């Protein structure tokens, strides 16, 4: 909320003593809160131990973040910062402005404290008059005791946070996740400097914390792997709902919006919502890699490229792409493109195994892409497959496949983004990693170098893989992939 909005104060508020007494009385007892810990609690505790060991004498501050303005005085639905979720275990129902603090102990290790604004009693003014926190306005929130039992951490009122967080900042290194809550970071910067910290070193100290929090997500634990499977399974349900509505998408016009809406309905019903803005790209729109406007028609004869994922309540998301023939069957040219992409994906999946490097997945898939482009005569005269794969003098194939084949996946759709190249692209694959394999071929309608029969068609196939000790498990293996399987899938759903 802007300063101007705060000063306007144009909301009606009941203020009489009589009303205060009246609104506080005759409420049924609250339902007793759960006393059993959440299933994530022991896994989150292990993650906190790993972070504690990385910064044994430092105070660590991990904010959930605050509300973000959508328009004027209305906000977007709140989603906590991914680092906060990973370390606390508090996900879909996390409260804005909460902060997780690791307080170093003299004997080693940390005491972990979760600061947030708990639910107020019904005889308080907050209960009925506070539009930011009041139960009348935003619903019931957890108590300190409830959240402590659920998450296995000490909980304190947010009012106590400022007095503790910058204490002895000149003697104790205080690190904060800077991008989680920029207002909190600015306030903490000033407090740290006032306590004797060196301003020039603040960002560097904070960046080290953010980097470690990011790389701790490279390997998923058993609980996280199960959440990923749930997200993929929910995504399949959403894809099949879209297929069942393809005729409606064609008939209604602006069908990309219809597809987006149908998938969003199932994502919201099955979990927290979509993990990212869905790409619902029909016809030539499929050749715009990040087409999220979704304003176009879906037409008979088109290919519909649907890149979407359900984010479950734990905030882990799937990321699946299927390219669907709207009419139920691929044309000969569409199938030729599709089969080439499928072959490339098979090569990428085969390369996703322990001992190989992350970059080996792309290299395996892109070699197949280059071979098909060469066979179709699309590379410049005299350029061989090896020539185009040369990273210094080639790369002609990138006209039709410009993006990478893989990325890590988890709480963020592009997870572990702060990992260095050595930790990501050049790293050896290990059991517990979850990543995508998603080659594609894109022939824009106005691409005069592409065969006319290919123009206006884009194909991508994307699956989510869990690296295991002896290879990988395709978490989305039950979602049909080959051209024949996709056609049979569409026919089966549309004849139910």
Residues 210-221: tens digit of each pLDDT: 999 999 999 999
Cα–Cα dist 227/104, whole Å: 31
DSSP state of 109: S
The CATH 3.90.230.10 domain(s) of the chain lie at 222-494
Q: Which residue has the higher pLDDT, 16 or 330?
A: 330
Share of the chain above pLDDT 90, in %: 83
344 vs 276, 337, 338, 350, 361, CA distance in Å?
25, 11, 10, 10, 10
Q: How many C-beta neighbours within 10 Å does residue 195 have?
A: 15
Mean pLDDT, residues 148-161: 96
> Which tokens belong to 239?
């894809």
Cα–Cα dist 108/353, whole Å: 38
Cα–Cα dist 154/123, whole Å: 26
Dihedral angle over CA of 475, 481, 487, 490, nearest 10: 20
CATH architecture group of domain 3-215: 3-Layer(aba) Sandwich (3.40)
- The mean pLDDT of the chain is 94
In the prediction, which pLDDT does 127 show? 87
Please calculate the CA angle 385-386-392 and round it to the nearest 5 degrees.
120
**CB-based contact 469:431 (threshold 8 Å):** yes
Mean pLDDT, residues 238-253: 97
Q: How many C-beta neighbours within 10 Å does residue 14 have?
A: 12
In the prediction, which pLDDT does 6 show? 54
Q: Which residues contact 341 (CB under 8 A, 6 or more apart)?
A: 323, 369, 439, 440, 441, 459, 460, 461
> Which tokens belong to 258?
């219809």
Q: Is the pLDDT of residue 2 over 70?
A: no
> Which tokens belong to 161?
């946070």
Q: Which residue has the higher pLDDT, 451 or 121?
A: 451
Cα–Cα dist 41/48, whole Å: 11
pLDDT-based confidence at 11, cuts 50/70/90?
low
Cα–Cα dist 195/141, whole Å: 34
Of 120, 104, 493, 149, nearest in space to 328 by CA: 493
pLDDT-based confidence at 10, cuts 50/70/90?
low
DSSP state of 288: S
The CATH 3.40.350.10 domain(s) of the chain lie at 3-215
Greatest mean pLDDT among 14-28, 63-77, 139-153, 399-413 lies in: 399-413
> Which tokens belong to 414?
């592009």
Cα–Cα dist 147/376, whole Å: 61
Mean pLDDT, residues 304-323: 98
In the prediction, which pLDDT does 135 show? 86
pTM, whole model, 2 decimals?
0.94
Q: For domain 222-494, say whether CATH 3.90.230.10 is its number.
A: yes
Give 3's Cβ-side CA count (13 Å radius). 0
In the prediction, which pLDDT does 9 show? 55
pLDDT-based confidence at 20, cuts 50/70/90?
confident
Cα–Cα dist 204/332, whole Å: 56
> Which tokens belong to 56?
């044994």
358 vs 103, 254, 260, 349, CA distance in Å?
36, 39, 32, 11
In the prediction, which pLDDT does 12 show? 63
Mean pLDDT, residues 236-256: 97
């Amino acid at each position: 909320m802007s300063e101007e909005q705060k000063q306007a104060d144009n909301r009606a508020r009941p203020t009489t003593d009589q009303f205060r007494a009246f609104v506080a009385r005759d409420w049924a007892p609250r339902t007793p809160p759960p006393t059993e810990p959440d299933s994530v609690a022991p896994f989150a505790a292990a993650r906190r131990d790993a972070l504690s060991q990385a910064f044994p004498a430092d105070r660590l501050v991990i904010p959930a973040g605050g509300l973000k303005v959508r328009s004027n005085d209305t906000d977007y639905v709140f989603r906590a910062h991914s680092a906060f979720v990973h370390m606390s275990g508090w996900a879909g129902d996390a409260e804005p402005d909460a902060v997780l603090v690791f307080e170093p102990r003299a004997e080693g290790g940390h005491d972990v404290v979760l600061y947030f604004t708990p639910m107020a009693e019904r005889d308080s003014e907050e209960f009925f008059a506070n539009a930011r926190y009041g139960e009348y306005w935003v619903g019931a929130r957890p108590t300190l005791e409830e959240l402590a039992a659920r998450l296995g951490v000490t909980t304190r009122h947010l009012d106590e946070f400022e007095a503790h967080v910058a204490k002895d900042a000149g003697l104790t290194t205080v690190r904060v996740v800077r991008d989680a809550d920029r207002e909190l970071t600015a306030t903490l910067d000033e407090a740290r400097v006032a306590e004797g910290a060196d301003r020039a070193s603040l960002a560097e100290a904070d960046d080290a914390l953010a980097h470690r929090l990011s790389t701790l997500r490279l390997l998923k634990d058993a609980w996280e792997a199960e959440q990923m499977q749930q997200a993929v399974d929910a995504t399949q349900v959403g894809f099949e709902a879209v297929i069942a509505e393809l005729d409606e998408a064609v008939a209604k016009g602006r069908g990309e919006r219809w597809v987006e809406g149908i998938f969003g309905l199932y994502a919201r019903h099955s979990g927290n919502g979509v993990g990212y803005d869905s790409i619902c790209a029909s016809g030539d729109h499929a050749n715009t890699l990040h087409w999220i406007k979704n304003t176009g028609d879906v037409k008979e004869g088109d290919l519909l490229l649907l890149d979407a994922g359900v984010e479950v309540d734990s905030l882990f998301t799937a990321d699946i792409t299927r390219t669907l023939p709207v009419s139920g069957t691929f044309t000969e040219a569409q199938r030729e493109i599709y089969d080439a992409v499928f072959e490339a994906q098979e090569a990428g999946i085969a390369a996703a195994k322990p001992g190989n490097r992350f970059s080996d997945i792309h290299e395996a898939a892109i070699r197949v892409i280059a071979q098909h482009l060469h066979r179709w005569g699309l590379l410049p005269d005299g350029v061989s497959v090896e020539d185009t794969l040369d990273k210094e003098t080639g790369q002609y194939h990138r006209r039709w496949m410009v993006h990478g084949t893989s990325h890590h996946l988890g709480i963020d759709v592009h997870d572990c983004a702060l990992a260095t190249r050595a930790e990501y692209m050049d790293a050896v694959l290990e059991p517990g990693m979850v990543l995508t394999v998603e080659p594609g071929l894109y022939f824009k309608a106005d691409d005069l170098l592409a065969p006319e029969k290919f123009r206006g068609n884009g194909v991508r196939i994307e699956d989510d893989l869990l690296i295991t000790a002896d290879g990988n498990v395709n978490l989305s293996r039950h979602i049909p992939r080959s051209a024949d399987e996709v056609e049979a899938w569409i026919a089966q759903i549309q004849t139910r």
